[in-house]
């Protein structure tokens, strides 16, 4: 943030001397500007105060702000600075509510922040579908209870008050899982460098072993697991500025599958009929997050780029790039629109089946095609949304850590356009062609970053349906 000083320096005098000699008109304009600017009294921040129920270290809080002590701000801009500071502190995901104001005490100008901290150690019960989304589980898998995962995680979001994260998770059901992770975002006084590590073990008695007609085909075994994975990861973060973050990660994964999959169901699952594989991975990701709310943005710009390379020992090397760019704008009171571009390009030929996941997995999903997957080496999606804010309120409760429960509901209309490429599409008829869809829906955003999307979508094949998602776009 550029600093504002109460008095001009020698630069003003030199400039005035030059202008008086060479440019009388410029001198007059400058005097008008200077008189108008310096007639205002600056708000100079003598002190920054944090109040409320919180344990976060002061240094971490001040690192997130867009100003610091001794900075001087024009009165006309003060409210904008405070609003931006509120958003930055809220985006740490440590607080349910952040409110800023100013006060004058003993002749000192102060900025005060009231913080209502989230519960730092929160049990994370997890009831999720083994399938890619609710609709696939409900419609295609008959809502079978044995395709649910029941888990419990404990995540400490603010260890030592330094925003360090310690997580442990256990899960039973369709996928048995145990995971342990620790993330230390700041190692140095400047709070720019951080590290983290994780270990996870997965165990499935059933696995999707092939893609047929853009649908996953599953096989269940009772004698031994269909799929097992053990994964280790270590990462380094570099955050030079508020909105920019660089992440470098090394990983090691061991995969094993049932003999029947490697033998006759799909010998190319790990490649050449192998029942085990060891993968060494490297990834680099850069994020620029210049949006107002990192959980559910309404204004601003965000860009994400990543490069990853997985080497399957003794077999294949798979480098790939992934990109995303989001634009968010408010066009009228309560009205918003946004565009999202997301895509991936993988490099390599004759890749094992488990390396061909493309569109239709995780966030890389096109609305209206929730029942389908698109394997291959390239995809690109363009999403457009027009939203109207129906509800924006906070429910007050006399319970610590739940004093303010935000509730925002948006009605929306939207459309998606997407394309995927596969060198060997086979009977996957949705590959190598343009697809589109459109629909209407509701977004619900509430406490602890919970997001629910209820969408009715029609695609270009004439298929329509009501879809439920518990994640953002």
Strand partners, 341: 325, 382
Phi and psi dihedrals of 49, rounded to 5?
A: -115, 140
For tokens 């508020």, what's the residue?
242
Q: 3-class secondary structure for 200-227?
A: EEEEECEEEEEEECCEEEEEECCCCCCE
CB 232 within 8 A of CB 252: yes
Q: Report the sign of the C-alpha dihedral through residues 445, 449, 452, 458, in that order.
A: positive
Closest CA to 443 of 289, 312, 336: 336
Helix (H) or strand (E) holding 33: helix 24-38
Domains and CATH numbers, the chain: 40-117 (3.10.20.310), 357-473 (no CATH)
pLDDT in tens, the chain (473 residues): 444 444 444 444 444 444 454 555 554 454 444 444 444 578 999 999 999 878 889 999 999 999 999 999 999 999 999 999 999 999 998 888 899 999 988 889 999 999 988 877 766 656 555 555 556 655 655 566 555 555 566 778 888 888 899 988 876 666 677 889 999 999 888 899 999 999 999 887 778 889 988 888 888 887 888 899 999 999 999 999 999 999 999 999 999 999 999 999 999 999 889 999 999 999 999 999 999 998 899 999 999 999 999 988 876 788 999 999 999 999 999 999 999 999 999 987 778 888 888 898 878 889 999 888 899 899 999 999 999 999 999 888 777 667 778 899 999 999 999 999 998 888 899 999 999 999 999 999 987 778 889 999 999 999 888 888 877 78
Angle of helix 10-22 versus helix 24-38 axis, rounded to 10: 150
Closest CA to 464 of 438, 432, 444, 441: 438
Q: DSSP assignment of 67-105, as one string?
A: --TT-EE-HHHHHHHHHHHHHHHHTTT-EEEEEEEEEEE
Most distant CA pair in the chain, distance: 94
Q: How far apart are CA 214 and CA 171, in angstroms?
A: 29
Q: How far apart are CA 379 and CA 399, in angstroms?
A: 47
CB-count exposure of residue 107 (10 Å: 0-12, 13-18, 19+): exposed
- The whole-angstrom distance between residue 22's C-alpha and the CA centroid of its chain comes to 54
For tokens 């009831």, what's the residue?
127
Strands 47-53 and 108-117 turn out to be parallel
Which of helix, strand or coil describes residue 374? Answer: strand
Total Cβ atoms within 10 A of residue 43: 20
């Amino acid at each position: 943030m550029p600093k504002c000083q109460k008095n001009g320096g020698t630069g003003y005098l030199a400039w005035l001397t030059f202008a008086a000699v060479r440019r009388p008109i410029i001198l007059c304009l400058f005097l008008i500007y200077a008189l108008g600017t310096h007639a205002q009294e600056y708000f100079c921040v003598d002190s920054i105060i944090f109040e409320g129920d919180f344990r976060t270290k002061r240094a971490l809080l001040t690192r997130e702000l867009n100003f610091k002590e001794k900075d001087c701000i024009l009165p006309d801009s003060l409210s904008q600075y405070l609003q931006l500071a509120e958003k930055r502190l809220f985006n740490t995901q440590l607080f349910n509510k952040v409110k800023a104001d100013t006060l004058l005490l003993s002749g000192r100008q102060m900025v005060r922040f009231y913080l209502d901290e989230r519960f730092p150690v929160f049990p994370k019960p997890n009831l999720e579908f083994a399938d890619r989304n609710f609709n696939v589980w409900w419609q295609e898998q008959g809502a079978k209870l044995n395709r649910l995962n029941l888990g419990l995680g404990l995540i400490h979001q603010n260890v030592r008050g330094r925003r360090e994260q310690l997580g442990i998770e256990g899960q039973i059901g369709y996928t048995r899982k145990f995971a342990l992770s620790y993330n230390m975002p700041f190692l140095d006084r400047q709070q720019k460098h951080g590290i983290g590590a994780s270990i996870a073990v997965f165990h499935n008695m059933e696995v999707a072993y092939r893609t047929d007609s853009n649908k996953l085909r599953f096989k269940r075994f009772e004698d031994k697991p269909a799929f097992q994975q053990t994964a280790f990861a270590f990462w380094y973060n570099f955050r030079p500025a508020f909105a920019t973050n660089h992440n470098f990660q090394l990983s090691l994964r061991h995969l094993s599958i049932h003999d029947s999959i490697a033998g006759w169901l799909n010998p190319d699952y790990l490649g050449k009929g192998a029942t085990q594989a060891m993968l060494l991975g490297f990834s680099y990701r850069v994020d620029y997050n210049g949006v107002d709310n990192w959980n559910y943005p309404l204004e601003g710009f965000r860009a994400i780029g990543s490069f990853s390379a997985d080497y399957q020992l003794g077999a294949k090397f798979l480098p790939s790039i992934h990109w995303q760019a989001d634009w968010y704008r408010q066009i009228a009171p309560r009205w918003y629109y946004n565009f999202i571009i997301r895509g991936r390009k993988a490099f390599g030929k004759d890749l094992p089946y488990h390396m061909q996941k493309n569109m239709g997995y995780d966030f890389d999903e096109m609305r209206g095609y929730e029942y389908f997957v698109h394997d291959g080496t390239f995809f690109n999606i363009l999403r457009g949304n027009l939203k109207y804010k129906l509800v924006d309120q906070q429910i007050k409760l006399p319970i610590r850590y739940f004093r303010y429960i935000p509730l925002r509901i948006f009605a929306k209309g939207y459309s998606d356009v997407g394309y995927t490429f596969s060198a060997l599409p086979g009977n996957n008829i949705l590959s190598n062609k343009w697809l589109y869809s459109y629909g209407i829906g509701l977004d619900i955003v509430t406490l602890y970053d919970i997001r629910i999307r209820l969408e009715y979508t029609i695609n270009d094949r004439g298929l329509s349906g009501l879809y439920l998602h518990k994640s953002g776009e």
